[in-house]
C-alpha cells in the first residue's frame, strides 16, 4: 500500500509518498546532505519514499528539514494504524567506521524522543547538524513513537549523523516487522494513536 501526503505552508511545499513495496526511492529536498540521509533511512528501514520539496532554503534548511520530518511522521502513523500486527519494538547498535550509534524504537502511540547525540562539528558542508534532532523530533512526535537515540562514539561528523540515521532506520525496520502473533502488540489491546 502507498501512503501520500501533500503539505503546503508559506515556507515549504512538500509531496511525499511512502510505501513498503520494493521500489526505488526518489528524494529531492533541495538539501543535498538531507537527501543522502533520507536515502539511507529509506534503504535501511525497508520503506520507500518519493519526496519532492520546494522549501525556503534561501533562509536556511530548518523549515525544509523539520517539515519533512512532520510529513514522514504522519505517513508512518498511517502505516502503523493500518498494520495492526507488528513486533512493536526495535533496537540497533550501528557502527559507521569510528563512530557508534544506538537507537531504540517503540511503536507505542506515545510520542517521546530522548536524543543524546552531540556532533563533533556544527556543520556538514552547508547543513546545520542541530537540524538532525529537529528532524527526528518532528518525525517522532507525528508518528507517535517512543525513541531513544544515542551517539556512543564520536568521530567524523558525517559518520556520526549517518550512524544515527542508519541505527534509527534498522530499529524501525525491526519494530515494523510483521508479528507471528495475530494480536495487537499491547497488553491493553490497543496502541494509542
183: which 3 cell numbers? 494480536
Element containing residue 132 per DSSP (H, E): helix 130-143
Distance (Å, whole) CA 56 – CA 84: 37
Rounded to two decimals, what is the model's pTM?
0.93
The superfamily (CATH) of domain 2-176 is Imidazole glycerol phosphate dehydratase; domain 1 (3.30.230.40)
Q: What is the pLDDT of residues 31-58, one digit of tens each?
A: 999 999 999 999 999 999 999 999 998 8
Q: Is 33 helix (H, G, I), strand (E, B) or coil?
A: helix
Residue range 122-172, pLDDT digits in tens: 999 999 999 999 999 999 999 999 999 999 999 999 999 999 999 999 999
Among 175, 183, 182, which residue's Cα sits nearest to residue 79? 175
Amino acid at each position: 500500500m502507498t501512503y501520500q501526503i501533500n503539505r503546503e505552508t508559506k515556507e515549504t511545499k512538500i509531496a511525499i509518498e511512502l510505501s513498503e513495496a520494493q521500489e526505488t526511492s526518489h528524494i529531492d529536498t533541495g538539501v543535498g546532505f538531507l537527501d543522502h540521509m533520507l536515502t539511507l533511512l529509506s534503504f535501511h528501514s525497508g520503506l520507500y519514499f518519493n519526496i519532492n520539496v520546494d522549501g525556503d532554503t534561501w533562509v536556511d534548511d530548518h523549515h525544509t528539514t523539520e517539515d519533512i520530518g512532520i510529513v514522514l511522521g504522519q505517513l508512518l502513523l498511517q502505516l502503523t494504524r493500518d498494520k495492526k500486527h507488528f513486533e512493536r519494538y526495535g533496537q540497533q547498535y550501528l557502527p559507521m567506521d569510528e563512530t557508534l550509534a544506538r537507537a531504540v524504537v517503540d511503536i507505542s502511540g506515545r510520542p517521546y524522543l530522548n536524543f543524546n547525540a552531540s556532533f563533533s562539528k556544527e556543520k556538514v558542508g552547508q547543513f546545520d547538524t542541530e537540524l538532525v534532532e529537529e528532524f527526528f523530533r518532528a518525525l517522532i512526535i507525528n508518528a507517535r513513537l517512543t525513541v531513544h537515540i544515542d551517539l556512543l562514539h564520536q568521530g567524523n561528523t558525517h559518520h556520526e549523523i549517518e550512524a544515527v540515521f542508519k541505527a534509527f532506520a534498522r530499529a524501525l525496520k525491526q519494530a515494523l516487522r510483521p508479528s507471528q502473533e495475530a494480536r495487537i502488540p499491547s497488553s491493553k489491546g490497543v496502541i494509542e494513536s
